């Protein structure tokens, strides 16, 4: 379900699972008609709306790999990610609409010398840009299914579990971004975290303001759909009253966010007057949270718990988090994520006893289901394991976090 910014009083738009399947299959058929083949890398560089979700699932259904690129990136950042991933094509949007402002997007892809592009319109009245030769509009792309007998049906391309399903990237703030491949096991890790730690279940409604360029975008798709919940998408900025009202009207049951959003809501009081009684929990990730801000946030939903969720793109989810089955303390974690083993190291790099309170550096046992085991543009060993101590015969992974445990 979704709503566009500025249409706060309009009905919520909805797509059923059957309708989603039909549209995903149509796009997968169009990908074959456009000449894409099993194993091709296909980029998505657009806001995370219902079309982006359909395209994401269709690329994977067709046996290809999604290349995740955030719609906020400059041409140079887009170009580096396209080059590293060897993308054969890219889905993008003509422009991005934010309030009364229009920001270029397709032109940034062109400046990045991107591969052939399929361009979606931001407005209902059609494409607002002139396309390069070889690029095509969304409507022309879908017309490629006109010769298919059953365009709304598609047999999924069989893949090995270790094949790449999604190529994501680190931020790249200290050099070239690390290209991190997710396999076909990673979605199970994302869905398991959602089920075990956020209690996402059938008929829930899950909202998390994010983008497919960051891991929480794909995480949201799998966390909701594999647990038979609904995805709630707001096409606009999450800082204003419009988003708060959307959470109310969509009857969101699990709301994820970064702490800076909660701080902005508290400062502006845009949530005031919205009824969030449907919420069963919040989730927080991406930044260190503030106790006062989060106590205020809980008060907006009758003091429903906030599950702290810390992980990484390499893991496809969290390694330390909270649980609806344990007492929670604001801005703190209560448990390792299901399937993760945390080791706390002393100042000599030696593991401290797991059954005693301790303070030290947090490290991870690398045996995490669904986590990445390679990088496309760097040595996986050198980045994650080199210089790390061995615990029970395995090199552990540092997460650059000071950790402590209590009894």
Output the six-digit token pair for 362: 């947090």
Does the pLDDT value for residue 240 go beyond 90? yes
Class of CATH domain 19-159: alpha beta
Angle between helices 216-225 and 50-61 (to 10 degrees): 80
Q: What is the pLDDT of residues 279-329, one digit of tens each?
A: 999 999 999 999 999 999 999 999 999 999 999 999 999 999 999 999 999
Judge contact between 207 and 254, C-beta under 8 A. yes
Q: Where are the alpha helices (DSSP H) in 62-185?
A: 75-85, 106-111, 138-142
Q: How sure is the predictor about 179, in pLDDT bands with cuts at 50, 70 and 90?
A: very high
Question: How high is the pLDDT of residue 173?
Answer: 61
Give the containing element (helix H, strand E) for 23. Answer: helix 17-33
Q: How sure is the predictor about 354, in pLDDT bands with cuts at 50, 70 and 90?
A: confident
The average confidence (pLDDT) of the chain is 94
Question: How high is the pLDDT of residue 166?
Answer: 98
Judge contact between 61 and 24, C-beta under 8 A. yes
Tell me the domain boundaries of the chain.
19-159, 184-340
Q: Which of 6, 5, 8 is nearest to 248 (CA)?
A: 8
Domain with residues 184-340, CATH architecture: 3-Layer(aba) Sandwich (3.40)
Calculate mean pLDDT across residues 329-336.
Answer: 94
Output the six-digit token pair for 355: 């059954």
Q: Which of 188-197, 216-225, 343-352, 368-377 has the lowest mean pLDDT?
A: 343-352
Output the six-digit token pair for 191: 């869905």
Helix, strand, coil in percent for the chain, rounding step 5: 25, 25, 50
CA distances, 207 to each of 214, 313, 316 (Å): 15, 19, 18
CA–centroid distance for 214 within its chain? 5
Q: What is the pLDDT of residues 188-198, one digit of tens each?
A: 999 999 999 99
Q: What is the pLDDT of residues 54-88, one digit of tens each?
A: 999 999 999 999 999 999 999 999 999 999 999 99
Question: How high is the pLDDT of residue 392?
Answer: 77
Output the six-digit token pair for 90: 């890219």
Asked if the domains 19-159 and 184-340 are classified in one and the same CATH topology, the answer is yes
């Amino acid at each position: 379900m979704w709503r566009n910014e500025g249409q706060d009083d309009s009905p919520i738009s909805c797509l059923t699972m059957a309708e989603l399947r039909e549209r995903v299959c149509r796009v997968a058929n169009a990908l074959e008609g456009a000449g894409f083949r099993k194993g091709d890398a296909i980029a998505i560089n657009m806001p995370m709306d219902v079309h982006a979700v359909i395209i994401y699932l269709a690329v994977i259904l067709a046996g290809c790999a999604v290349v995740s690129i955030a719609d906020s990136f400059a041409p140079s950042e887009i170009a580096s990610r396209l080059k590293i991933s060897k993308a054969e094509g890219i889905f993008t949007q003509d422009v991005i609409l934010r309030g009364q402002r229009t920001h270029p997007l397709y032109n940034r892809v062109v400046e990045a010398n991107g591969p052939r592009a399929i361009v979606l319109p931001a407005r209902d009245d059609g494409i607002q840009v002139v396309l390069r030769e070889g690029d095509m509009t969304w409507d022309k792309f879908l017309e490629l299914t006109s010769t298919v007998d059953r365009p709304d049906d598609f047999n999924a391309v069989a893949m090995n579990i270790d094949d790449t399903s999604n190529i994501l990237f680190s931020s790249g703030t200290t050099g070239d971004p690390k290209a991190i491949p997710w396999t076909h096991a990673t979605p199970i890790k994302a869905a398991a975290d959602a089920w075990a730690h956020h209690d996402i279940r059938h008929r829930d409604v899950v909202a998390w303001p994010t983008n497919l360029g960051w891991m929480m975008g794909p995480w949201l798709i799998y966390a909701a759909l594999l647990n038979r919940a609904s995805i709630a998408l707001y096409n606009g900025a999450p800082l204003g009253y419009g988003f708060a009202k959307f959470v109310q009207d969509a009857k969101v049951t699990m709301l994820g966010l970064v702490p800076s959003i909660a701080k902005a809501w508290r400062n502006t009081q845009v949530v005031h007057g919205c009824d969030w009684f449907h919420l069963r929990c919040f989730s927080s990730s991406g930044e260190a949270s503030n106790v006062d801000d989060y106590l205020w946030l809980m008060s907006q939903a009758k003091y429903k718990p906030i599950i702290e969720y810390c992980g990484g793109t390499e893991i496809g989810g969290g390694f330390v988090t909270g649980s609806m089955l344990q007492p929670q303390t604001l801005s703190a974690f209560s448990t390792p994520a299901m399937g993760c083993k945390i080791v706390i190291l002393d100042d000599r790099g030696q593991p401290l006893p797991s059954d005693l309170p301790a303070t030290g550096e947090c490290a991870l046992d690398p045996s995490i289901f669904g986590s990445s085991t390679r990088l496309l543009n760097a040595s996986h060993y050198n980045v994650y394991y080199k210089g790390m101590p061995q615990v029970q015969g395995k090199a552990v992974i540092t997460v650059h976090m000071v950790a402590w445990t209590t009894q």
